[in-house]
């Protein structure tokens, strides 16, 4: 059994979220999070009732500035990670210049199948499913109400 044999079975389109939502600051990490999970699909395979279960195992964000970020996990929000906003993560990307960009997600799945409730059997190969395109507006921002350079005094007021 190969991925070609299960072509009529497909996982749903993965979601592609980011924080901050839809925008980023030049030189600071924007955090990307894929929304993909294990999914089971039912149907007919080789003339028999079957189920195919898809497991996400890889994530790739292709940014329109030429950067590619690959990960084995879908990423998590800064709050879930217990990190401050604009902290680098395994799935983050920092844009070097202002502009309008896109981030295209692809999720790689492995799959297994079974007939009529039998044991699950792994299928050779992987399947890459494109996710939703994320629009990213990147700009330069100045902070106000600070007592000085936040890089030099990160605990200062407004930093």
151 contacts: CB under 8 Å, gap ≥ 6:
none
pLDDT for the residue numbered 14: 97
Q: What are phi and psi of 80, to 5 degrees?
A: -65, -35
Q: Which pair of structure tokens corresponds to residue 12?
A: 């749903």
pLDDT band at 156 (very low <50, low <70, confident <90, very high): confident
pLDDT for the residue numbered 154: 76
Bridge partners of 133?
104
**Average pLDDT value for the chain:** 92
Domains of the chain: 3-139 (2.60.40.10)
pTM recorded for the entire structure: 0.85
3 state DSSP class of 55: strand
For residues 97 and 155, what is the distance between their CA atoms, to the nearest angstrom? 27
For residues 146 and 51, what is the distance between their CA atoms, to the nearest angstrom? 59
**What are 6-51's pLDDT values in tens digits?**
888 999 999 999 999 999 999 999 999 999 999 999 999 888 999 9
* Biggest alpha carbon–alpha carbon distance for the chain: 72
Cβ-contact 154, 143 below 8 angstroms: no
With a pLDDT cut of 90, the percent of the chain lying above it is 78
3 state DSSP class of 67: coil
**What are 39-71's pLDDT values in tens digits?**
999 999 888 999 999 999 999 999 999 999 999
pLDDT for the residue numbered 30: 98
């Amino acid at each position: 059994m190969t991925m070609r044999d299960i072509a009529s079975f497909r996982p749903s389109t993965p979601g592609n979220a980011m924080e901050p939502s839809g925008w980023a600051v030049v030189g600071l990490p924007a955090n990307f999070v894929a929304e993909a999970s294990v999914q089971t699909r039912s149907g007919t395979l080789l003339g028999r009732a079957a189920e195919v279960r898809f497991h996400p195992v890889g994530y790739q964000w292709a940014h329109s500035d030429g950067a590619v970020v690959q990960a084995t996990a879908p990423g998590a929000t800064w709050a879930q990670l217990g990190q401050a906003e604009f902290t680098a993560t395994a799935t983050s990307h920092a844009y070097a210049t202002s502009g309008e960009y896109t981030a295209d997600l692809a999720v790689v799945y492995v799959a297994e199948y079974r007939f009529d409730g039998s044991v699950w059997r792994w299928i050779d190969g992987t399947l890459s499913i494109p996710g939703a395109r994320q629009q990213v507006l990147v700009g330069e921002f100045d902070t106000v109400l600070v007592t000085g350079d936040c890089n030099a005094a990160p605990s200062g007021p407004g930093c």
